[in-house]
Structure 1
C-alpha cells in the first residue's frame, strides 16, 4: 500500500501512540530516548496524560518542545453534570500547573484569543468562549482579561497570527491564551477531552488547513493553547467500528466455552485496550482481520480517498457540547486567575 501520513490530530498522546505502534524499531527507539516524558493516571473520573517534550523528543514525535496536559473523561455524555464538574476542576488545576513559571499580578494583562469560525458550530469553541467570558467580565468588572475573536482567514483575508501579533504589540500582555477546536484520531475522544499546552498553536492544522502559528516564537510572549477535539476523519470512524466488531466477535468466540460467557445477562462489548488473539476471526474475515488498527486505517484511507471528497465528522449534539465547554473554560479561567491572585 502507498504510505499515507496520518496527521489529522492535534492531540499529543495520539501522536505518541502512532509513533509507538508504527514499527517495533521505532517503539524501542522512543522508549530509549529521554526526549519524551510520558505520564498517565486517573484523578477520579478524569484521565490525565502529562507529556513533556524536549528538543530531542520534538524530532521523535513531530510535536513542539514544551508541556502538554490532556484531560479526558472517557465515560462523559451530554447530560453528565458530575463529569463536567470533575473535568472543570482538573482544568483549573492543570492550567495553574502549566503557568507555574509565569508571574501574574493584579496589574497583569492576559489576552484571550477565541480562534475559529462562529458560523460553523464544530469550529466555534473559541468565539463561544469569548462570548461566555465577556458576559462574566461585565458582571464582575474584571480587567485582567482582554478578549478577542479574530474570525478566520477565509472571512478576513488576513492571517489570524498577524492580527494577534498586532494586538499583542499594542497592549503588551503578560500572557496569551488561544482557544480552538481540535481534530482527533479516535472517536472516543470527541467532545470528551481538553488539551492544554504552552507550545502555542497552528490554527487549522488538524484538518489539513494549517495557518501561521501563534506562539512565543512569533509573539515574544508566553502562549498557552487550550483545545477541545470536536471533529474526526470519517475513515477513523470506519476503522474504529471495524476494530470493535472484530474484537467483539473474537471475545465471544474465546468466551464461548467459559462459565463467564454463560453468565452475561446484558449486551456486552469488548474492552478495546485488552489483549485479544484476533487470529480466531481470521477464518471468518480473512487475513486483514489480523492487521493492526493502523494498517486497517491505512487501507480505508487509500480506498476512500480515491475520489475527490474527504469527510470530517462531528457529533450531532455538537452545539450543546460547544455551549458546555465554552462555559467550562470561561469559568475555569476566571476561577484560576482569582485563586492565583488571592
Structure 2
C-alpha cells in the first residue's frame, strides 16, 4: 500500500510511491505527445488493487501545461483529452448523464458544477429538429449539478441514482475536484477512470460510491487536482515520513487543505477545457468551434 500519510486521488501518484518495482496485478505505461504526458495504469485484479490502493480498472492521467499559464488550451490538447474520454464510453451511447460534483460556493471544490454549466445538454432536442439543423448525429446528453449533502440534505449518489433511474442513460460521467500529493500537479493534471468515484474521499469526507456496481451502468470519473493537504505537503517537501514528522503535522496538518492563490483563474479555465473535451467526446461529429459557439 502507498504510504498512509501521503493523500492522493491520482493512481499515477500511488504508483510513484511504490517506486520502480514491478507490481503484481498492475500494468503501466507512459507516452509523450509534444508538451503533453500521458500515463496509463490498469489495475488487473484484487492483488494489484491492494498494492496500489485503487480499485480494479483503468486510469489515464494527462499532464498538460498549467491552466493558469495560458488563456486557452489548444484545440489539439482538447481533442486529445476528448479522445481519451470517448474510449471509456460504451459504443454509440443512447443517452449520457453528466454530473458535476462539488460545492459551487467553495472555489477549489467548484470544478464539477462549473463543468456541468459548460455541457451541451441535448436530451430535450428531438431527433427531427436536430436533423433539420444538420445535427442528425447528435448524442442525447443531460447535465446536472446536484450540490453536496450539506446544502441539500440528500446524498449526491442518491440524487444521481434517482435521475439515472428516471432517464435511463447508457453511461454516467462524473466530474469532481481531486487531491494530489504534489503542488506541481495542481491545475495541470487530468485523471480519467472507468472505476467511478467516491465523492469527498480526497478530503476525508467520503460519501456513497458512484460506480458500475452501485449504478448498474458504466461510470466514467474525470477530475483535476485542486488541493494538497498540509500533512502531505510537509512530508513531500521534507522527503520524510518518519514518526517525528508525523507527530509534528498530525492531526492539524491532515485537516488543512492548501490550494494555489490563483485558484479562481485555474478553476475557470480548467472548467472550460474539460467542458469542451467532454462535449467533443459526446458529439464527435461536431467541430470544436461549433461546440464553443453553442456553449458560449
TM value normalised by structure 1: 0.73
Correspondence for 2:268 among 303, 323, 326: 323
Q: Deviations over 1:228-279 (max 9, x none)?
A: 100001233334444xxxxxxxxxxxxxxxxxxxxxxxxxxxxxxxxxxxxx
Q: Deviations over 1:145-174 (max 9, x none)?
A: 111111011111221111111111111000
Alpha carbons of structure 1 residues 32 and 113: separation in structure 2 relative to 1, 3 Å: closer
8 Å contact kept, 1:195–1:227: yes
Q: State the partner residue of 1:253.
A: none
Correspondence for 2:50 among 43, 59, 69: 59
SS of residue matched to 1:97: helix
1:174 aligns with 2:170: yes
Alpha carbons of structure 1 residues 96 and 308: separation in structure 2 relative to 1, 3 Å: closer
**Pairs within 5 Å for 1:301-340:** 301-305=246-250, 307=252, 310-339=255-284
Q: State the partner residue of 2:91.
A: 103
SS of residue matched to 2:241: helix
Q: State the partner residue of 1:207.
A: 203
More helix by share: 1
Alpha carbons of structure 1 residues 304 and 133: separation in structure 2 relative to 1, 3 Å: same
Q: State the partner residue of 1:256.
A: none
Size of the aligned set, in residue pairs, is 275
Which blocks of at least 5 consecutive residues in structure 1 are unaligned? 22-26, 243-292
What is the rounded CA distance, in whole Å, between the counterparts of 1:128 and 1:158 in structure 2?
A: 20
What is the rounded CA distance, in whole Å, between the counterparts of 1:317 and 1:118 in structure 2?
A: 17
What is the rounded CA distance, in whole Å, between the counterparts of 1:317 and 1:37 in structure 2?
A: 36
Note the C-alpha offset of 1:335. Answer: 1.4
SS of residue matched to 2:54: coil
Alpha carbons of structure 1 residues 162 and 171: separation in structure 2 relative to 1, 3 Å: same
8 Å contact kept, 1:199–1:215: yes
What is the rounded CA distance, in whole Å, between the counterparts of 1:235 and 1:86 in structure 2?
A: 37
Alpha carbons of structure 1 residues 308 and 223: separation in structure 2 relative to 1, 3 Å: closer
Q: State the partner residue of 2:291.
A: none
Alpha carbons of structure 1 residues 143 and 59: separation in structure 2 relative to 1, 3 Å: same
SS of residue matched to 2:178: strand
Which protein shows a greater Rg?
1
**Pairs within 5 Å for 1:69-84:** 69-73=60-64, 75-76=65-66, 78-81=68-71
Note the C-alpha offset of 1:89. Answer: 2.8
Note the C-alpha offset of 1:116. Answer: 0.1
1:147 aligns with 2:162: no
8 Å contact kept, 1:71–1:90: no
- RMSD (CA atoms): 2.8
**Pairs within 5 Å for 1:137-286:** 144-242=140-238
1:295 aligns with 2:241: yes
SS of residue matched to 1:133: coil
Note the C-alpha offset of 1:205. Answer: 0.4
What is the rounded CA distance, in whole Å, between the counterparts of 1:9 and 1:134 in structure 2?
A: 31
Alpha carbons of structure 1 residues 325 and 138: separation in structure 2 relative to 1, 3 Å: farther
Q: State the partner residue of 2:40.
A: 50
8 Å contact kept, 2:122–2:141: no
TM value normalised by structure 2: 0.83
Which blocks of at least 5 consecutive residues in structure 2 are unaligned? 288-296
